[in-house]
Amino acid sequence: MIPHLSERALIVAPHGRDADIAASMLKEAGLLTEICSGLEMLLQGIERGAGFALITEEALLTADLNPLSLWLRQQAEWSDFPFVLVTRRGGGLERNPAARRFLDMLGNVTFLERPFHPTTLISLAQSALRGRRRQYEARARLEELHMGAEKYRSLFNSIEVGFCVIEMIFDTQDNPVDYRFVETNPAFVQQTGLADAVGRTMRSMVPGHEQHWFDIYGKVATTGNSIRFENGAEALGGYWYDVHAFRVGEPGSYRVAILFNDITHRKQVEAALRASEDHLRQLNETLEERVAERSHELEQAQQALRQAQKLESMGQLTGGVAHDFNNLLTPIIGSLDLLMRRDVGTERERRLIGGALQSADRAKTLVQRLLAFARRQPLQAVAIDIAQLVRDMTDLVASTVGPRIDVQVEIDDDAPLAEADGNQIEMALLNLAVNARDAMPDGGTLSIRVRREQVAASNDLGLTAADYIRLAVSDTGVGMDEDTIAKAIEPFFTTKGIGRGTGLGLSMVHGLVAQLGGALAIESEVGAGTSISLWLPVSDRPRAVPASPSRPDLGQSDHRRVLVVDDEDLVRASTADMLRELGYDVLEASSGEKALEMLDEEKQIDVLVTDHLMPGLTGIDLAGRARKKRPGIRVLLISGYAEGKGISADFPHLTKPFKHDELATSMTLL
């Protein structure tokens, strides 16, 4: 029984969702599908009528192929059922010699490699359906041929598929060398461009025709086995043909009937689709590479942000701790200084007091370094000649690092002025020189360079696009690895060992340049040395001229009555004692609100000395209200946050902790 023609696609794919995916792709193109659980169900579907079958190589590897082989051998001569075999990239079953014999038995097989584009699958499906329709058309026409010669001739001339009957010509060794055209139809001329072919040989018409065509038809003529294949004919203009050839007539006649169709356009489309898939694959790979690059850049940016947030949090914590330490140190330093000035106690006791004062001064210096890291130190940023500063410090740096280290200085002649605090830059330069010395225990070279450099808008330093002075200190020492560089500016991080450093030197320098609007950069390699660059903004102001030093009269003032305001009892008491020592009449208040009440009650208050940050009213708020009550009152603000943040330039301020002479100087300058 011959099955009726059907446009259905039978799908056999036992693993995963392959069958569902293929069915979905084909349905999107408007094609009917039926999923078969195995080859037995596939054969049943073919008997009911189907256009083609889509089979994965896994289905063939796991199934009993004997029933399918038997069915293939029993196909009618006109029928060559089309199969689309899905294989892995690079080929699967077709590269297996044992499996190849079965694939040859299938005959009409088109291979589809994974991964494939839906458009490729749909194109192959449509081609298979067209081929199947042509088989049925050819069968119908051939059946009509048996009904009569005239009817046969009409049918022969009307079909759109190219058709011819050829007679093979062999040499004395039975090798096919040529063939003669016995019959052709009009579509033959359209498909090949060869007119008046009947009675002529192919060699006479197309001398350059490829030998493999003669070999193929000669095999069909001698064996009687039909064949279905696709191939290109360069000699006929590079066209591609879908060919079905089978022997006709008596075995000794060596005649072959050929049905063929021009599939050049389909091949071109498939080639274009493959090229598009390759292009899309390349684009996808490029996109994945770019996504990976952007992900890496994002990770670096996030890491930098986390580091900045970490340093910012540490800075806030450090600033708060430094404020508390300043409040603690103020009465300690003030009281010890007062005891020293009064020459209290025996010689041994005075020596102990002096030692305690020295320790307190060292603690003050430590707090100042913490404030520098937290970017809250008091700075007097003016136009500084960094080049001259380095020249003046060269001898000091050389004596500090010792004779085993060669100090080299390189300064650009046109280096402009920088906006900086000269004293702090000197301290920073000495810190960097000491670090370089410790990194070169066996001696080496210390290079100091000063030059003007322009920074672009997009830079790794986070700087605004402008001109900067770059002060670089380089050594030929042991260098640092990436982890050490990442932690180098963190407070209390040191590589010098216990007791050999506080770990605040580099963090202080980093905080200093950041507070000045610049940046610090570290370049280092293990075994190759380290270079640390300070980027300082160029100043547009004239060079600062240092004022002539003059020692104020510490005990004289026209302002005799002072109101001291501080919420810390010990700080307030210590400040009041120092002012009384200076000869002032002192009143005390524990808050801004209490101070306002005393300003209303007391007739004479000449000077207001107040802490800046207090619960309730701040020192700034108190000073503003006090000036409204008493326009002539003088104000001195005292702050444990050394940067004086929020303090107007109209108000002189003094940083905690302070000594007798520092307080006296500030009072005299009011």
Q: Tens of pLDDT along 424-455? A: 888 888 888 888 898 898 899 999 999 998 88
Q: Residue 645: what are its φ and ψ, rounded to 5°?
A: -60, 130
User: Average pLDDT, stretch 641-661?
Assistant: 69
**Amino acid at the residue 86:** V
* Among 400-409, 477-486, 575-584, the least confident range: 477-486
* Max CA pair span of the chain: 147
pLDDT at 511 over 60: yes
pLDDT at 590 over 70: yes
Closest CA to 15 of 46, 33, 37: 37
Under 8 Å between Cβ of 204 and 196: no
Q: Which CATH class is domain 9-135?
A: alpha beta
Homologous superfamily, domain 561-668:
Response regulator (3.40.50.2300)
> In this structure, how many other beta carbons lie within 10 angstroms of the beta carbon of residue 495?
15
pLDDT digits (tens, 9 = 90+) for 126-173: 998 998 888 888 887 767 655 544 555 666 677 788 889 999 999 988
**Amino acid at the residue 50:** A
Strands 634-639 and 382-384: unpaired
CATH 3.30.565.10 positions along the chain are 382-537
pLDDT, position 609: 95
**CATH fold label, 297-373:** Helix Hairpins (1.10.287)
Sign of CA dihedral 569, 570, 575, 578: positive
What is the token pair recorded at 447? Answer: 């290079």
CATH 3.30.450.20 positions along the chain are 161-268
Under 8 Å between Cβ of 599 and 659: no
* Among 210-219, 622-631, 653-662, the least confident range: 653-662
In CATH, the number for domain 382-537 is 3.30.565.10
What is the token pair recorded at 267? Answer: 């091949």
User: Average pLDDT, stretch 177-183?
Assistant: 93
pLDDT at 1 over 80: no
pLDDT digits (tens, 9 = 90+) for 291-331: 888 888 788 767 766 665 665 665 566 666 666 777 777 78
pLDDT at 544 over 60: no
What is the rounded distance in angstroms from the CA atom of residue 100 to the CA atom of residue 109? 11
Average pLDDT, the chain: 81
Alpha-helical segments (H) within 342-481 = 347-373, 386-401, 422-438
Name residue, tokens 């089979």.
Answer: 55
CATH of 161-268, one of 3.30.160.160, 3.40.1130.10, 3.30.450.20, 1.10.645.10: 3.30.450.20
Read off the pLDDT band of 498 (50, 70, 90).
Answer: very low
Q: What percent of the chain has pLDDT over 70?
A: 83
pLDDT digits (tens, 9 = 90+) for 38-80: 888 989 988 888 989 999 888 887 788 888 888 888 888 788 8
User: Average pLDDT, stretch 483-510?
Assistant: 64
Integer Rg of the chain from CA: 49
pLDDT at 415 over 90: no
pLDDT, position 57: 84
pLDDT, position 562: 95
What is the rounded distance in angstroms from the CA atom of residue 619 to the CA atom of residue 636? 9
Under 8 Å between Cβ of 68 and 105: no
Q: Residue 329: what are its φ and ψ, rounded to 5°?
A: -75, -25
What is the rounded distance in angstroms from the CA atom of residue 212 to the CA atom of residue 458? 66
- Vertex 324 angle, CA 351 and 333, to 5°: 20
**367 or 292, which is more confident:** 292
Is-above-0.75 flag for pTM?
no
> What is the CB-side half-sphere exposure of residue 163 using CA atoms within 13 A?
21
pLDDT, position 101: 65
pLDDT, position 548: 44
User: Average pLDDT, stretch 608-623?
Assistant: 90
pLDDT, position 99: 60
pLDDT at 552 over 60: no
Strands 33-36 and 83-87: unpaired
Percent helix, strand and coil across the chain, each to the nearest 5: 45, 20, 30
Burial of 610 (0-12, 13-18, 19+ CB in 10 A): buried
CATH 1.10.287 positions along the chain are 297-373
